[in-house]
Each structure stands twice: as C-alpha cells, then as structure tokens.
A and B are shown apart, each in its own frame.
Chain A
Amino acid sequence: MGLKLKALLKSPWVFHLSTGSCNNCDIEVLDCLTPRFDIERFGMLLKGSIRHADVLLVTGSCNRMSAERLKTLYEQVPKPCLVVAIGECSLSRGMFIHSYNCPVPLDHIIPVDVYIPGCPPKPEAVIAGVVKLIEKVGGKKGD
C-alpha cells in the first residue's frame, strides 16, 4: 500500500454523484452524514468538488447523457481513487435494465471497487460497505 492510499484511508473524502437516480439513494447517503449515523467520525467528509475527493459515490442508473459526464468526472478525481456503486440502479440498472436510455451498467463505464445493493440501501448498509472498502484496500498492507 502506497503512502497516498494510506493517507486516503485515514480520512476518505467523498464526492456524491447522482447519474439519474430517483433520489432515494441520495437521501440515504445524506442520512449517513446526519448526527444519527455520523459517518464523519470515520473521517469521511462530503466534498463539493470532485477534485478534492478520494471516493466517488455513484447512485442511479447511468443514461446516455450522464455516462459522458461520469467519464469526465472520473478523469478529474485525483488518483488513486475508489468508486462505490450505491443502490440497485447503479449495480445493474434495476428496473431500468431494458430502458432505451440505459445501455450499460456502471461497471462497464468506470471501474467499481465496492457494490452496495439495496433499493435503497439502508445507512447501515452504506456504512458496512464503506468499512469493507477500507478493509479491502487496507488489507493489502501485509502483501
């Protein structure tokens, strides 16, 4: 594990991107940041700009228009970065799988590190997913 990645895991700053979701997953992500769940105690901070972020949280099924924007955003994240797909729509497009405007799932567009299923996933599931992400990346320490 590089120094950059180690520093990243101490306090991963997240950027939240909705690529055409119904906003339910977005509400759950915001729920994680409220005092009840308080994801900030793990050092996670929601950032307004992609250039300040280490983790990209993606919700919603990618449509033809937002896929282009998603690629542009992914190019702007400082590397190394981690991508978390939240919700059934970004995992497999959910009920929009046969939609004319959603040709491919998220992991066909950019590499995804963690998948958090659910429609919408509970805040507990989001926290569990992020903890697994930190374990997965941090576990490489012994290698």
Chain B
Amino acid sequence: MENKKDILSRTYLVYIFLCVFALAILYKICIIQFKEGDEWKAKAEAFNTKVFEIEAVRGNIFDVNMNLLATSLPYYEVAVDINAPSIDKKLFDGKIDSLGFMLSELFKDKTSKQYNKILRKARKSGDRYVVLKRNVSYKDLLVLKTFPIFKRGKRGGLVTLQTNKRELPFQMLAARTIGMSRPGIKPVGLEGAFDTTLMGVSGQRLMQKIAGDVWRPINDENEVEPKDGSDLITTIDINIQDVAENALEKTLIKNNASHGCAILMEVKTGAIKAIANLTRNGKDSSSYSYSENLNYAVLNATEPGSTFKLASLMAVIDEYNVSLDEKVPVGNGEVTYYNKTIKDAHAPAEPVLTLQRVFETSSNVGVAKTIMKYFSKDPQKYVDKINSFHLNQKLGLSIPGEASPLIKNTKGPDWSGVTLAQMSYGYETLLTPLQILAFYNAVANDGRMVKPRFEKEIIKNGKSVKTFTTEVLVEQIAKKETIKKAKIMMEGVVLNGSGKGLNITAFKVGGKTGTAQIAKAGKKGYGVAGDRNYQASFVGYFPADKPLYTCIVVIYNPSKGAYYGGLIAGPVFKEIAEKVYSSSLDFMEPINNKQNLLTKAPASIKSKNDEMLIASNALQLPVKSNATEGNYVSRNTIDSTSVALVSNNLESQLKKGIVPNLNGLSAKDALFLLENSGFHVKLYGMGSVRKQSIEAGQKFNRGDKITLILS
C-alpha cells in the first residue's frame, strides 16, 4: 500500500471534521442546558402534565324492590382536535359545513355559521383542542359519533372527557336519607355512610396543560381504567316512601308547619321502609313548598313531650309492678313543684283517673304525680330505668350525623328539684324522632330493641357482596308483663284516648300522641301562648295484635291554630298505615302447614298430566297420578298427604264426538283441543273455562260453534 500515508492523513482530516461536529453537538447541549435552560424549564412547566383521577362510575342505590333511588349518569365534555393528522385538507374542506350544521342542529346553542367559524379558526391556528360543549349526555354523544369527520372513530378528532352526575330518579323522595357525597362537604345520608363502597376505584388519565387551566388528555384512552363501585340495596320501599312524603307534605301545608318528618320501621328487623323529612322552603312562613333539606329523623334532638310518658310509666310499672287500674289523683289538672306549675291541656274529666286513663288522655299532672310518688325519694332509680331502655345512648346508625340524646342525671350540674317531674312528661330531655321510634319499636317487638337500619345488601355486578342483618341493641328492655301493659295503654290511646279515630278498619293500632311546647328561638322558657311553638307527634305500631310496623310522625311548629299530635300527626300516620296495609302481603294470613297448603291449592284445575306434575313439583305439592303422559288430568281428591290426579279422558271423548266437561281448562288448552276436533271456538274473558255453550255429554259435529266463558 504505497499511498497508505495519504489515505490515513485524509482519514484523520475527516476525523477532525467529525470531532468538530461532535463538539458542536456538545456545545449545543450546553447552550440548551445553561444558556436557554430557564426558558425551556419554564416551557416545561407550561407543558405540564398531570395524572388526573378518573372517577369510577358510582354504584347505584336501590330501594328494597330494586327501584333506583340514586344513580350516576355519565356526561361528557366534548372537544375536537380539528388538526388531527388524519383530518386532511380534502376531508376538512368537504365536510366542515355539514359538521357545523349538524352540531348546531344537535346542540342548538350556536348557529351552524358560528360553529363553522369556530372550527375554521381552530383549523387555521393549529389549535388541537377546542371544547364544543360540556355536559353532553351519553345519548347525544352517540349521535355526535355519527357526524361527518367524527364518524371516522379514533381518527376523527373527537375527544371526550367523562364525568358522572348523581341523579335521584325519585327526586325528593327520601332525598336526605339517600344523601350525598361531595368533596368539601360533610357526608350526608347513605351516600356518605357507604361512600367507599359506592365510590369504586378511580382510574387515571394523563393530561396535558394546554392553556391556563385547560387540560387535554394525551392518549385516547384512560391510562388506568376505573373500577366501578358496588351497589347498595336499601330497606326503603319507594311506594311507601311516596305515600309518607305526600301525606307529610299535605299535613305540613295544611297546618303551615315549618318542618316535619315521618318514619316507618319494620318491627322485627329494624328496617326503615320509609323516611320523609321535609323543610319549608325559605324562612317566610307564607311559603307552602317543602323539600328534603335536613334529616330531622336522625339529627334533630328535641324535647319529646308526651311520647316520653310511655317510658316514664313503663319505668314505674317495671320497677314497682304498678297496676293499670292504680288510682291517680289529678284534681283540677294542676300541680306545682317548687316554682313550676304543671298543667293538663284539657281539664280532667274526673279528679281521680286510673293510670290507664292518665296515659290515654295524656295527663301531664297524672304522669308527673305518679313518677313523683314512686321516684322522688330516689330520682336516680328513675334515670337508671330510663337508661336501661337505651334512651340515653345513640342508636349507632350507619348514616352520619345522629344527634346524642339527653337524659339528665341526678349527679349532673343541670339537675334541679323540678327535673324529675319535668322529665316524666317529656321535658328537660332531648331525643330524636328515630330514637323515640326505636324505643316504641322495642315495645311493639315484645321488649327486644333492634337498631334501625337503612341498608339491606351490597351487590356488585348483580352478585351479593354483603347482607346486613338485624342488630339487637337490648335483648329485653323491660319485663314481659310491663310490655304487655304498655301495649294495653297504647291501644287504649287509639281506642278512646287522645289518638281516637286513628284505628283502621282492617286492624287495630297502638300508639301515643305527643304535643310538646317548644321555646321559640331567643326566648327563655316556654313563655306565654304567643311565644310558644308546638311539636305535634304521633308514634305507634300496627296491627296491634301482631305488630309488624312502627311509625312516627312529627310536625314542627304548626301555625294554623291546631297543634295536638293526634289531630295533626295522626292522619299522616293513618295514611301511611293504610298504604302499607293495602300493598303488603305481610298482612295476609301466614301459610304455614301442609293442610293449609292443600286447601289453598286451586279448586279446580285441569291440565296436561306432565304440565301438572311440573307445576306441582314447583309448588312442592306431593302428587299421586295414575294418568299417562300427555293425558288431561284433573284433581280428584284432597287427602292430608297428597294431591291425587286422575286421568281425564277429554281427548277420547272428543274423538267419540262427545263434548267433554271443559270446566277449569285453560284457554290455550281448550282452544287446542276443540279446534283440533273441528270446533269454531269463541272465547270471552280471561283465565280458565267456567261455562261452555254446549253442555258436557252432548254430541257434536265438526264445524259446530262453541262459546266458552272464562274467568
């Protein structure tokens, strides 16, 4: 290689040139990092990205019959990337007019010209994210996706951002108990209580800041897909809720009351079937519209008034085994302890009443005197007894915000000489409607106190995740004998006491009225008539013989003159009870034994043998059948052990040209048999055959007409 030296020197020359190139690169890096560094770092800030939480679809809340109480509907922010690489000039120019027109047609918020202008401007300035509309429903989104350009799918430049809005299909019904959960506010109701269950797990989406506070998603899809929340089935029955809410509203309007609540609870399980809380809109007492704003049932602890008398008298009866016939001298209906005069609302009919009458007529003096007689020496005994009824403790509800009850203690600083007497008829004491209801429910439940609950089950994708069971707060709040007497007293109230007229034809009701005087805000004490506010309530259970439900209705501040619990709250109670009766199977006589089962079986059935066997098996009826497959059978005899089926030779009779006895046959089977035999059949009514125009045993010819009457 003679010219190797030349080759090498040329190579080195190039090498030096490349070294300069390399140094230039290095230099440029240094320029970018050190000289322009701050500028680019600032730009990096502007090009900020953030991982955004993508809210999972919140679980639904159902009522006990799977009606939707709360659900999340998706809404979309719809934007367009009109400069997406796939939208070329030809496509843009060709379709932009029709796109603008269709957007205008769909949203109706801008003219097609305006849309056209927006899109063209964005196209020209290279804008990659133009928000077209916010809060677009899923339905409209589907329509949008069929529009020109957009219909090209992922390459059509349509960018959507989903948000979920909570909707209550029944709007106001039980709204406060369904509640809400929003960042920044205290959780309310079931939404708040079961927030984590309903919420699901958020997904993630990487977004880029494009201007100010506007962010656009970087990728077409979420980086992490959200996991939807579980559904909650509540104990609420929306049909009863509807009645409760309407009845309550009606009464509130009628009496121009400020607010009120009504709760229906299942005796055995503590399940709340309905809970209505209504507040008058606006402070103005001339307003007659109400809405669910506060859950009074749970968080409004007030002086219960007369409804507390049950607890007082039960304390006496339980402790001293007092008879309901015990005489209580009530005099003219006034008694004074220290400086406090206790009066009856109505002057007593007689100067001496039985304990039963004291309760029925809701005599303040009678109750106070009885309690003072037995407990004035040892008031703490009374307090302890009341406390043993679980009245001094919170119920421990799932939904947040339950108010603490107040039962004064003799050792407390606020205990005075008149406290015992005041407490006895429901003052100097604070209880929420639900706490009172739970106590009455315990009495209806033969002494077993269960916790009120709103939640029945948690389901995920239709599968049960958790079932809620009844929680017992106190196994037995009082002696059986005491409970029995309490019930007698309460039934008396409705039969011939302050709650007269609340009985329902179908069943008896037990309960207690309550009319409490409430000090007006800012006024000390209960003041004179003009400064008084009233709280009318009724709490009771039904049917009295075998209590299934308890219900409380409280009306606050009625202002149309009437304020007695029996008159104001009673009708709401009655309306709810009637609705429950008319819509509930629970009132039907229970079907327990086989004997009953058989006598309850359809009186006359005729069907194909195999179908009959399937039906009987499904009903778990023991069947003896001598018929062969395909034959028509009818039930023959009832004995204590089984249903015996005998073959009914309908087909063979028809073949012989004789009209069989069609009684009890279903329309379908009758038609099949008769038309096959050449009859023209006319049917009237629904159900199974009751009458036939051609009597059984008659001969017939093909083409004959026969009329069947079904019922």
Do these two chains really belong together in a complex? no
List the interface of chain B (C-beta within 8 A of A).
Answer: none
